[in-house]
Amino acid sequence: MKYMMFVCTDTEPETEFEAPDIEKWVAENDANGRRVLGNQLAQPSAATTVRVRGGELLLTDGPFAETKEVIVGFDILECADLDEAIEVARAHPMSWAGRVELRPYFGD
């Protein structure tokens, strides 16, 4: 079953933390086939929001919503079930300081 894993953090982290090594996490999950794809994302200020209203294209530079939390990366996981996906997410370094959100693919 495939899961999208959103890696999120606060724009202003509250505390310093010592988390597992991200490169080790990536290598381990790439090697065992659980991580299909993943990458960091550019800063929210680099975003372009696309909307169509009344047939008119509306573009907005930067994030559309003001929020303290931002998505800083993503991974696509291939796991047997939600329990396995939770264990993979639990070991991700950002689960120690930010949060990791799992969503199954629709209909997968």
pTM here is 0.80
Question: How far is the C-alpha of 81 from the C-alpha of 14, rounded, in Å?
Answer: 33
Contact 60/49 with Cβ under 8 angstroms?
A: yes
pLDDT digit of tens for each residue in the chain (108 aa)?
999 999 988 766 566 667 678 899 999 999 999 999 999 998 888 888 888 999 999 888 876 666 677 888 999 999 999 999 999 999 998 888 788 999 999 876
Token pair in block for residue 71 = 């998505």
Number of domains in the chain: 1
Helix (H, G, I), strand (E, B) or coil at 85: helix
Q: Where residue 32 sits, what CATH number does that domain have?
A: 3.30.70.1060
Range of the domain at 49: 2-12+21-104
92, with CB counted inside 10 A (0-12, 13-18, 19+), is buried
